[in-house]
Amino acid sequence: MRAIILVGGFGTRLRPLTNDKPKQMLTVGNKPMLENVIQELSQHGITEVILSMGFKPDIFIDKYPEEVCAGLPLKYVVEPTPLDTAGAIRFAVAESGIKDTFLVCNGDVITETDLSELIDFHKAITAEATISLTPTTNPSQYGIVPTDKSGKVTGFIEKPSGPDFETNLINAGYYVMEPSVVNRIANDRPVSVETEIFPNMVEDERLFAVPSDRYWIDAGTPETFLKANLDLINGQRMKNINGVHSEASISPDAVIKSSIVGRGVVIGEGAHIENSVLMEGVEVEKNVMVEGSIVGERAKVEENCQILELTIINHEEIVEKGSQLRATIYQNRMNK
C-alpha cells in the first residue's frame, strides 16, 4: 500500500521556527518529524510514500536526494498553488498514478496507532474511506466524529463549541481511502477533506472509523511540539530514546534533566537544562538556565541567561548575556 503524507502547510503555529523551514523538518527526538511519521508507516506494510508538498519543497528534496526516508522510497509531488487537504490528496493521486487503496496522513501527527488494524477493518467492510479516531479532553480544538456500533460515521463536526459533546473521539489525521474518493473532490479550487468531503460521505453512509487509545499527538504547536520531543524520554512512548546526542559536548558540571540535546550542541559549565529541546548546533554558555523551552538550530545563548516558560529561540539567534526570557518568542528583530 502507498501512503500520501500531507506536508504542504506553512506551519504558522510554530513560527518563527517555521519561517523558512517546513515544520515536518523540525526535529523530534533528534530526527526530522517526517522521519518519525514514516518510520511508523514502515511497520504497517506501506511500500512507498508520496510527499504532497507546497511550502519550501526544496528543503525536503535536499534532505533526501536519494528519495528514501526511514527505509521507504519517496515520491515528490509539489502543488502549483495551495489546494487544501482534499485538493492536495486529489493532486497527489493524479501525479503518482495511484489506482488502489491508499493511506493518507497529516505530516505533523505522530502516533503509535495500529494502522494495520485500521487498514484491515477498512477492507473487511468495503468502506470508501475509513479514518482513525483518538480520544481527547478538549474536542473543541479538533473535529469530533460520532459513529454507530458498526463503525459507520454518523457526523463530522469541525471544532464544536461545546460544552457538551456527543463524543470525545476526534479525527486523528490518518485515513484509508479508495481511489473513488478522488471523484468527490473538485479540481478547480481548494477543497477541505474535513469540512466538505467527509461530511458529504457521511450523508452517503460511506465513511467509517476505528478508534484507538494508543499514543497520538498533533505536534504542530509549541506546546505539543515540545511534548512530542519529551515524550520520547519520559516513558510515554513504547520505546524510550537517549535524548542527548552522542555528538553533543556537555561540561561535566552542567545539569541535563529530561531534555533533548541535539547533535553538535555545546553546553558550558554551570548550565542547567530541564524539560527543553536544544536543536542541532546550539551553543549554551556558562551559568545558563533553560527550562521548558525550545532553542532553534545553531542559536547561541550567552552566559547567565534564563530561558523559561516555553520561550522559543529562533534558529541562529543570539541571546545576549544576562537576558531573562519568560514565555517569549525570541527572533531576529528584522523578522518581527
Which domains can be identified in the chain, with CATH numbers?
Answer: 2-220 (3.90.550.10), 249-335 (2.160.10.10)
336: pLDDT strictly greater than 50: no
> 205-219, pLDDT tens digit by residue?
999 999 999 999 999
Cell representation of residue 38: 514514516
Query: CB under 8 Å to 210, separation ≥6 — which residues?
Result: 117, 118, 121, 130, 131, 132, 133, 151
What pLDDT score was predicted for residue 198? 93
What pLDDT score was predicted for residue 93? 95
> 274-330, pLDDT tens digit by residue?
999 999 999 999 999 999 999 999 999 999 999 999 999 999 999 999 999 999 998
> 218-266, pLDDT tens digit by residue?
999 999 999 999 999 998 888 888 999 999 999 999 999 999 999 999 9
Q: What does DSSP say about strands 249-250 and 157-158: parallel, antiparallel, or unpaired?
A: unpaired
Distance separating alpha carbons of residues 139 and 17, to the nearest angstrom: 27
